[in-house]
Amino acid sequence: MFQLPPELKALAIALLTQGIKALVELFGKTLEGKAAAVVAVVVAAIVFLGEGIIGLLPPETQEQVVAILSALASLLAAFGIHRFYVGLKPA
């Protein structure tokens, strides 16, 4: 069965959540408090559900699907890293 290491799951969930929050801010909205927690839970559920779905695929297609999803996750994570870095800078 396909499974990501727990450390990678936690990092992916954190960065994807930050990336989604950064994308929402581009549209003039903010995700704070309960909304941010809901986004984190939804991202975590999608990551765990995605693992199960990928596990059902034939082994020869798993690599391709993981590569495509990794590219998408990398884009969102880049937004998350940027948002986190900007938050560390003193005002």
How does the average pLDDT of the chain come out, rounded?
A: 80
User: Which residue reads 């005002």 in tokens?
Assistant: 91
**SS3 track for 57-70:** CCHHHHHHHHHHHH
Inter-residue contact 18 to 83 (CB < 8 Å)? yes
pTM of the model: 0.61
CA distance 43 to 22: 14
For 43-72, what is each residue's pLDDT tens digit?
888 888 888 888 888 988 888 887 887 788
Give percent above pLDDT 70 in the chain.
Answer: 92
Domain spans, the chain: 6-81
Inter-residue contact 9 to 71 (CB < 8 Å)? no
